[in-house]
Homo-oligomer: A and B are copies of this chain.
Amino acid sequence: MTQMLPSAAVLGARAFAALAGLNRFSDEPGKLTRLYLSPAHRQAAEWVKGAMEVAGLSAFIDAAGSVQGRRDGAAAGHPSVMIGSHIDTVKDGGRFDGNLGVVAGILVAQALRDAGITLPFPLEVVAFGDEENVRFPTHLSTSEALAGRYDPAWLDGRDADGVKLSDALVAFGGNPAGIPALARKPGSIRAYLELHIEQGPVLEAENEPVGIVTTINAQSRARVRITGEAGHAGTVPMALRKDALTAAAEMALALEAIAGSHELAVGTVGVFRPNPGATNVVPGAVEFTIDFRAPKNETLASMETAIRARFAEIATRRGVGLDIVPYARAEAVPMDPALQEALAAGVTKTGSNLATRRLPSGAGHDAMSMAAVAPAAMLFVRNEKGISHSPLENMTEADAGIAIRVMLETILELAERSK
């Protein structure tokens, strides 16, 4: 029956056309900015609902603002297969981040309907709305709702204008009281699959159009404060200095070396603020952030031990104060091995020349939430320059088509396995 399905090239063209439609909805003219529960989010949700209905799914916008579409399977009682991603964006974001995964789900459903294929299981497509964590102090709240892990305290969170999430949700047309009922029962979802643009340069560097995600990396963040002694840049001899900046610089290099010595780990100093920050003053204090990630929790823990030991050694040797305040931590979320295999089968069926490249995800995704209630797996699509969260984010139509075709083949592979 595969002959009746659209080619990768056709799927790529359909995806780009669909994205052009969906990405008209923005909170900022000339940019793609679509924050959770904004007017543009509502318009985009309506567009997605319409597109789902045209693709043969019954659809509704749920209590938390996600769009849920569904087509029943051949027989009742089977757990569903769900394809999902998100339609919120960062401020001035890229065209593909999240949106492509939602469009992919709709195009897969449409292709199956058009080919007259009825799956043995229900097919669901979901467009989550709060993945980017930009507007409210939440994280993945809309997928956490389906996972049954929604924290009611999130409803009291406020945006930069002081608007409460619960009020914004009501204004959007959602229903705070209905959120608990969104929780799916364990066992009711057989597979959660998410297609997403890679937010880094790995597939690009290896010249592969798609990659299978092995795990969503464990992650830790901390604010670090170094307290030295400010002084005149001309008059304090080097031997008498307690320069907070050079101490912090040595720590940034230590973090880089520690990350580089652990497989697939990363470590970044992104914020770095010397005080007072004047040309002719030896900095008396520096505040900087560290962000480090690894595929395994044990690796992250061993990195943290190494970081603390090295930073303490540097601070002691240089006679400066050191204060490390961790403020965010996420455990690693391994993707389901059987679903990874199903994706690999989908890749191979899509093209015998395609490698089944595996890679961890350094960024968080709705699949992290869904993995709490269902087997979950992700497919990454090559990012042309490795750039994301930027209008420069890009991919080829050909790669988008290959990836959607892989999703289609993977759904058919799961159908085969149901026999």
Q: Which residues of A are in contact with B by a Cβ distance under 8 Å?
A: 198-202, 205, 217, 219, 221, 230-240, 243, 245-246, 248-250, 252-253, 256, 259-260, 264-274, 276-283, 289, 291, 293, 361-364, 386-390
Contact = CB atoms under 8 A, between A and B. Distances in A.
Contact of A235 (B200, B221, B246): B200
B202 A237 contact: yes
Given A201-B240, A232-B389, A246-B253, 14 more contacts: A199-B235, A202-B240, A221-B279, A232-B363, A234-B266, A234-B291, A234-B293, A235-B386, A236-B362, A237-B266, A238-B267, A245-B270, A250-B253, A269-B274
A376 B282 CA distance: 29
A363 B266 CA distance: 42
A331 to B, nearest CB: 14
Contact of A264 (B237, B249, B279, B362): B237
A362 B280 CA distance: 11
A159 B151 CA distance: 55
A269 B246 contact: yes
Contacts of A274: 269-272
B200 A236 contact: yes
A398 to B, nearest CB: 22
A252 B280 CA distance: 14
A164 to B, nearest CB: 25
Nearest to A240: B201
A224 to B, nearest CB: 11
A114 B280 CA distance: 42
Contact of A201 (B205, B231, B271, B361): B231
8 contacts: A200-B232, A232-B362, A235-B362, A238-B260, A269-B274, A270-B274, A270-B279, A272-B274
A23 to B, nearest CB: 20
B283 A279 contact: no
Given A249-B250, A253-B250, A272-B245, A361 B235 contact: yes
Contacts of A283: 269-270, 272
A252 B268 CA distance: 17
Contact of A249 (B252, B260, B387): B252
Contacts of A256: 238, 243, 246
Nearest to A245: B269
A289 to B, nearest CB: 4
B270 A280 contact: yes
B282 A270 contact: yes
Nearest to A235: B200
B260 A252 contact: no
Nearest to A267: B238
Given A253-B250, A256-B243, A270-B282, A236 B277 contact: no
